[in-house]
Structure 1
């Protein structure tokens, strides 16, 4: 158990490590020596320097990239907030395990191993409109499930599966950064206008039910989140402790970071926003977190799919950083 208590989890958030500035500087110097005008590779240069700092070496690599998909079920589904029944979560986990989902194909294309972590799918969280989604013990267990899944990866891609979890994500974003429920609610799996109205009502009811109790990252997660969302939060914090950079997926995945960042803004320093999804609240949430997405492809699947696609860009950044010749090596005049 990485977080033996709630206090240990909160203490980890209060003692966040920093990247290696000497490695960052060495990578930046190398970028300035490569056979190209300074800054001409744009974000690719930034990504290489970012990875150098967290991997603590001038020429970072991705040799053990790992995609992790956490799955959980939500009691708030009973309020008609999803176009699909909760049983689909179990069915999709089976599809992941059989290798037939989008994330299976995209992880293979990105050169990532894939782990699927189902979390008590036969026991949905409580409906957060009438009480906490999880007990302290349940939330802590989910955090530790996430923390324990990162293994020895040198780059982690996070994703989720859970019918109803876009409603929980909207509640987490609203609780963390304010705004009206309608500012954060979107169609999710494809609900119609009436479904969106039910989602808005559920988020509003949840915020009202827990008013005054949303006093820490842990309390926001356990009262309004889900097991898979808490697991993502646990993985993010454990990765930070290990100095491993993380590629985040869409709105639901990113919502797991919102309560952490609201109380400890530096938690985002080791994160890359893989993409900006078509879910309306995602762009707003990324802006609040200060994360600029690598891609914007109108994706809204979840599963870590957009983040996995972004790994191709990350690999391109590292290939250019490592394999290009310097001006001296190529015999090219600087000026």
Structure 2
């Protein structure tokens, strides 16, 4: 065995990972949100991810789109032409892409990172430097016949994704949305899911960009060959990304793990995000508690990955538009769940203070015996202790416990 660089350990990226806070939902009046419901589940997840019993408004949200071309697209598995990914990046930055329009309508800033985009037409020229600052390579290799990238490129991509998450959290972002664009991306995602779950190509391959039957058969054959190559390394997430991933999917893994370690929730979008989440959770189990899925798509690989991760999508939109549109659509539901939970918490009455203990009742019309000690000097009135084993004097029962304090403690429930 020759000496080489130490393999990337994904646990390093997620150093400091802890489970989300477990919110406590106090007892209160009957409310639609207090009853078991999907809205309550969403509000509870959001509150736990933000270390609160009731989450505050989502004021600082950011959509991050990771872009990359995939060599397997050259096998005719996608309707997207060469240069389509670069054109999508330019449209996202310029605000003309559907996801950019939806983000603007939701008041969500958009950050685009071209990590593995092939740009034969020079469409990325003139874009802000931040778009290409973390580029790893110009497109990935065809995973059906060779590794997607080198070990060094894989680590660079994972750490680039982690740095993108760190940057957002340092700027105070409360919720991150993850999107993707790239020709051949769904074929790579299907390969990763099939390798992780030991599924066949026909179990995971969908229509992606809207391909017909002939392209679907080509795509299935390519994924079959890629899975054969990747299955032997499926238990080693970093090596799996090198073998059958891409710079953008590897960056998504680093992004998800670092956001979880920084206690910042992520709303996923589409099959690429689901595949990245599956790989990330295999490297660092438990990180999936920090992620939510925006929308179910028509891709079978997404369904299988989410079933394994036990993540339930907020919406079911069928064929997805990609680039984070599903996550953006679900954001409105998540904001509604938060607002309803906050309103419900504000409407709950404050607990009533405990009543003061009542004093001993005075005997009416009983004349004081001449020379008898007055109330101020009576040992019983002063609270003198009664020796153990002796009964309290008759008529003193009211002073010690005639009135009981009524607690206002309700049935506190812990939401998981």
State the SS of the aligned residue for 1:328. Answer: coil
- Structure 2 partner of 1:238: 258
Residue 339 (structure 2) pairs with residue 319 (structure 1): yes
Q: Distance in 2 between matches of 1:7 and 1:278?
A: 33
What is the CA-CA distance between 1:38 and the residue it aligns to? 6.3
Q: Which residue of 2 aligns with 1:10?
A: 11
Q: By how many angstroms is 1:220 displaced?
A: 1.4
Change (3 A) 1:318 1:192: same
Q: Residue 82 and residue 214 in structure 1: after superposition, are their counterparts in 2 closer, same or farther (change >3 A)?
A: same
- The more displaced of 159-168 and 108-117 is 108-117
User: 2:6, 2:267 → 1: CA distance?
Assistant: 27
1:124 to 134, 139, 162: 139
Gaps of 5+ in 2: 119-137, 353-409, 411-416
**1:274-289 superposed matches below 5 A:** 274-289=294-309
Separation in structure 2 between the aligned mates of residue 294 and residue 210 of structure 1, nearest angstrom: 31
Normalising by structure 2, what TM-score?
A: 0.73
Q: Encode CA deviations 1:129-157: one digit per residue, 9 max, x unaligned.
A: 22210111111121122212221211010
In structure 2, how many angstroms separate the alpha carbons of the residues matched to 1:37 and 1:87? Answer: 50
Structure 1 gap segments, 5+ residues each: none
Q: Which of residues 203, 206, 212 in structure 2 aligns to 1:186?
A: 206
- Name 2:271's counterpart in structure 1: 251
Match of 2:47 among 49, 52, 68: 52
Q: What are the superposed Cα offsets for residues 270-296 of structure 1, whole Å, 9 maximum, x if unpaired?
A: 111111012233223211211111101
Given the two structures, how large is their TM-score scaled by the length of structure 1?
0.89
The whole-number CA distance in structure 2 between the counterparts of 1:92 and 1:310 is 22
Q: Distance in 2 between matches of 1:297 and 1:8?
A: 36
Q: How many equivalent residue pairs?
A: 323
C-alpha distance in structure 1 between counterparts of 2:230 and 2:343, whole Å: 53
What is the distance in 1 between the residues matched to 2:297 and 2:230?
Answer: 28
Structure with the larger helix share:
1
Match of 2:103 in 1: 107
Q: Compared with structure 1, are the counterparts of its residues 213 and 40 closer, same or farther at alpha carbon in structure 2 (3 Å cutoff)?
A: closer
Choose from 313, 317, 333 the match for 1:297. Answer: 317
Q: Is the 8 A contact 2:54 2:342 kept in 1?
A: yes
* Equivalent of 2:162 in 147, 153, 172: 147
Change (3 A) 1:241 1:262: closer
Separation (CA, whole Å) in 2 of partners of 1:125 and 1:37: 49
8 A contact 1:88–1:163 mirrored in 2: yes
Q: Distance in 2 between matches of 1:317 and 1:212?
A: 43
Q: Deviations over 1:208-241 (max 9, x none)?
A: 2344233311111221111111111111001011
| Cα 1:86–1:255 shift into 2, 3 Å | farther
Correspondences of 1:144-183 after superposition (within 5 Å): 144-150=159-165, 151-152=168-169, 153-183=173-203
**Partner of residue 270, structure 1:** 290
Kindly report the root-mean-square deviation, in angstroms, between the aligned alpha carbons of the 2 structures: 2.3
Match of 2:80 among 79, 84, 97: 84
1:14, 1:264 within 8 Å by CA — same for their partners in 2? no
Map of 1:19 onto structure 2:
20
Is 2:195 the counterpart of 1:200?
no
